[in-house]
Amino acid sequence: MSKIQIKQLSKKFKKRNKYIEALDQIHLSIQEGEFVCLLGPSGCGKTTLLRILAGLEVPTTGEVNIQQEGSSKTPIQSMVFQENGVIPWLTVEENVAFGLKMRHLPSSYIKEQTEHYLRKVGLINFKKLYPKELSGGMKQRVSIARAFANDPEILLMDEPFAALDEQNKFILQEELLSIWQETKKTVLFITHSIDEALLLSDRILLMSAQPGKIVRDIPIRLERPRTIEQVRSDPEITNTFLEIWEHLQKEVKQTR
């Protein structure tokens, strides 16, 4: 049984008197615990697909099913955005605890869960600070800690590291993988970076330009833990990189 199942999904937006066909005939299933990256040219509907899974948009046709295993109180999904995912008037620890407090969970559990993930992302000594006192990388760590602390059925991540410098990006990617390996959550992750997708994914779903379709489903069979050096030097992965690169070049040229 798949954790996420999407059948014949399409999405059209009405803008003035015109329809924009954002997604066309998306059909896919993602297994429990898989780390799947969505890669495609700008405007191909990646965020729209994530927003549909988050219940923030309704598909025009088709259906989406997320298998629920926890209690009915378990959130279906947590989302991590590129930026501005933290609540400015709450401290680091209050941000991480926010979802758990909203569910009125016991305070001892909230404290334990919050501290566990603050430690995991290296923010335990910064828990009393407010977002304005944090760097961009630290804010993203807060968002990641909050997303995992919520213990959702699935995690949806929309280019969470896109605004970070290379060094911070590598550190956060490693931290994310370490938490993912511990929790074995199902993750759907949007990125524009082929290297990032190769480093993180069990599978890469490659999308066409608008209307977005999934044109390739590429398994990444590199052992974990992976390093960027391995990603860059493995001959099979190098071929996959080139294949994705050529596809993206072609799609981007077509849309221009």
Binding site for ligand ATP (CB under 6 A): 13, 15, 20, 22, 40, 42-48, 210
For residue 22, the minimal CB distance to ligand ATP (Å) is: 4
Q: Would you say 37 or 145 has its CB closer to ligand ATP?
A: 37
For residue 158, the minimal CB distance to ligand ATP (Å) is: 8
Nearest to 4 by CA among 64, 56, 91: 64
- Apex CA 194: angle with CA 204 and CA 46, to 5°? 60
Q: Would you say 45 or 137 has its CB closer to ligand ATP?
A: 45
For residue 156, the minimal CB distance to ligand ATP (Å) is: 12
For residue 2, the minimal CB distance to ligand ATP (Å) is: 23
Q: Would you say 20 or 76 has its CB closer to ligand ATP?
A: 20
Q: Would you say 60 or 67 has its CB closer to ligand ATP?
A: 60
Cα of first residue to Cα of last residue in the chain, in angstroms, is: 40
For residue 53, the minimal CB distance to ligand ATP (Å) is: 12
Q: Would you say 57 or 174 has its CB closer to ligand ATP?
A: 57
What is d(CA 21, CA 139) in angstroms, rounded to the nearest whole number?
Answer: 34
Spatial contact of 10 and 61, defined as CB atoms under 8 Å apart? yes
What is d(CA 212, CA 96) in angstroms, rounded to the nearest whole number?
Answer: 34
What three-state secondary structure class fits 40?
A: coil
Helix ranges, the chain (H): 46-53, 92-102, 107-120, 136-149, 166-183, 194-200, 228-233, 235-255
Residue pointed to by tokens 């919050």: 114
**CA dihedral angle for residue 136, residue 199, residue 206, residue 209, rounded to 10 degrees:** 40
Q: Would you say 52 or 66 has its CB closer to ligand ATP?
A: 52
Give the distance, in angstroms, between the CA of residue 231 and the centroid of all CA atoms in the same chain.
20
For residue 83, the minimal CB distance to ligand ATP (Å) is: 13
Q: Would you say 13 or 126 has its CB closer to ligand ATP?
A: 13
What is d(CA 70, CA 76) in angstroms, rounded to the nearest whole number?
Answer: 9
For residue 42, the minimal CB distance to ligand ATP (Å) is: 3
